[in-house]
Chain A
Amino acid sequence: MSLFLPKLSCKKEVDEVIKSVAEKVLVLRFGRDEDSVCMELDEILSKTFHDLSKMAGIYLVDVNKVPVYTHYFDISYIPSTVFFFNGQHMKVDYGSPDHTKFVGSFKTKQDFIDLIEVIYRGAMRGKMIVRSPIDPRNVPKYDLLYQGI
Chain B
Amino acid sequence: MGAFYCSVCKQTFFAGKSHIFGKKHQDKLKIVLTKFLDKVKEARRMLKAPAVEKYDVTEHELNLWCYCCGAEVQKHITNGNLTVLCGGLLEHMASPEHRKQTDRFWWENKADSKLKEKFLFSEEEMDRFKTEVAKALESYEEKEDEFIKQQASYIREVEQRRQEVMQSTLEPESESESPQGPPQCGPPGHIESSGNRDNYRRGGAGKRAGPSGADEFEDSDWAGGGLDLTFIGYQDSSSGGNVHTGATPPWLKQDPEEGGSGTQEPQAGPSHEEFLKHKEQEKLRKLPASRVGANFDHASQTDAGWLPSFGRVWNSGRRWQSRHQFRAEEGQGTNHKRKKHEPWKGSKKHKPADS
Contacts and interface: CB of A to CB of B under 8 A. Distances in A.
Interface in A68-111: 68, 71-74, 82, 84-91, 98, 100
Interface string B298-338: 11101010111111111000010000001000100000000
Contact residue range for chain B?
Answer: 20 to 34
Contacts of B314: 74, 146-147
Interface residues of A, number: 34
Nearest to B308: A18
Nearest to B327: A72
Contact of A87 (B287, B290, B298, B304): B298
A41 B313 CA distance: 22
A98 B291 contact: no
A28 to B, nearest CB: 10
Interface in B281-302: 284, 287-288, 290-294, 296, 298-300, 302
B288 A124 contact: yes
A89 B311 contact: yes
A89 B306 contact: no
A87 B291 contact: no
A20 interface: yes
Contacts of B306: 15
B49 interface: no
B300 A19 contact: yes
Nearest to B329: A71
B355 interface: yes
B300 A86 contact: no
Interface stretch (A32-40, A42-50, A125-133, A134-142): A125-133
29 contacts: A11-B304, A18-B308, A19-B298, A19-B299, A19-B302, A20-B298, A22-B298, A68-B307, A72-B326, A74-B312, A74-B313, A84-B308, A85-B292, A85-B293, A86-B294, A86-B296, A87-B309, A88-B293, A88-B296, A88-B308, A100-B313, A124-B288, A124-B291, A124-B292, A125-B288, A125-B290, A126-B290, A127-B292, A128-B292
Interface of B: 284, 287-288, 290-294, 296, 298-300, 302, 304, 306-314, 319, 326, 330, 352-353, 355
